[in-house]
């Protein structure tokens, strides 16, 4: 950011003000504060008859790699709506949320992920432009070596192990402090 969005001044500065706990960007002209907070990413693990809905990325980053459908939450929607919308946009599948499954923070890049368990309602097989291919894959069909994000691989492996026992927990994690898992 080069100019204040309020008054157009280029006098932007970082400072700690009053009792605030964090340094903020301020406009030196009109005193507007520019808050910068983590982004929320929502997605789903969609299981259907022992298969799991995955998509192959068509765009950067990592085109060709496989992942679970997820994406940035938009303003004005709930986190559940964001997860359902992202699944629809990336895979062409209509789903309904069952329960939250995994919540993890990536403080290095200021992102928070929430993954829900979801039930498949309809699979149109018409993925959006960000997706090369969307498929329901049995565990042995999943291209484990081609899942770029370790956390996604971790979540999916854990989910499949729990699916085989029909008992799902809630997983909390962070890339710095390892993982904590609360079983029901």
Contact residues for Zn ion, defined by CB under 5 A: 4, 6-7, 9, 27, 29-30, 32
Nearer to Zn ion, 5 or 176 (CB): 5
Closest approach of Zn ion to the CB of residue 56, in Å: 45
Closest approach of Zn ion to the CB of residue 29, in Å: 4
Closest approach of Zn ion to the CB of residue 1, in Å: 11
* Main-chain phi, psi angles of 86, to 5 degrees: -65, -40
Nearer to Zn ion, 4 or 44 (CB): 4
- Alpha-carbon distances, residue 31 vs 1, 21, 34, 35 (angstroms): 15, 18, 10, 12
Closest approach of Zn ion to the CB of residue 2, in Å: 12
Nearer to Zn ion, 23 or 144 (CB): 23
- Alpha-carbon distances, residue 180 vs 84, 113, 116 (angstroms): 26, 15, 17
With a CB cutoff of 8 Å and minimum separation 6, the contacts of 83 are 42, 43, 44, 70, 97, 114, 115, 116, 118
* Main-chain phi, psi angles of 43, to 5 degrees: -160, -175
Closest approach of Zn ion to the CB of residue 35, in Å: 14
Nearer to Zn ion, 6 or 141 (CB): 6
Nearer to Zn ion, 13 or 177 (CB): 13
Alpha-carbon distance of 81 to 96, in angstroms, equals 10
Are 110 and 38 a contacting pair, CB within 8 Å? yes
Are 49 and 138 a contacting pair, CB within 8 Å? no
């Amino acid at each position: 950011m080069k100019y204040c969005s309020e008054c157009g001044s280029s006098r932007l500065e970082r400072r700690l003000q009053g009792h605030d706990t964090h340094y903020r960007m301020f406009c030196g002209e009109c005193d507007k504060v520019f808050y910068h907070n983590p982004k929320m990413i929502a997605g789903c693990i969609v299981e259907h008859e022992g298969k799991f809905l995955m998509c192959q990325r068509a765009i950067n980053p990592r085109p060709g790699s496989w992942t679970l459908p997820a994406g940035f939450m938009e303003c004005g929607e709930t986190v559940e709506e964001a997860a359902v919308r992202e699944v629809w946009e990336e895979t062409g599948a209509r789903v309904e949320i069952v329960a939250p499954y995994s919540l993890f923070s990536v403080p290095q890049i200021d992102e928070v992920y929430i993954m829900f368990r979801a039930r498949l309602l309809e699979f149109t097989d018409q993925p959006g432009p960000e997706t090369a291919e969307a498929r329901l894959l049995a565990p042995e069909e999943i291209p484990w070596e081609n899942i770029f994000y370790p956390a996604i691989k971790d979540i999916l492996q854990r989910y499949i192990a729990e699916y085989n026992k029909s008992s799902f927990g809630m997983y909390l994690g962070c890339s710095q402090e390892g993982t904590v898992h609360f079983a029901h």
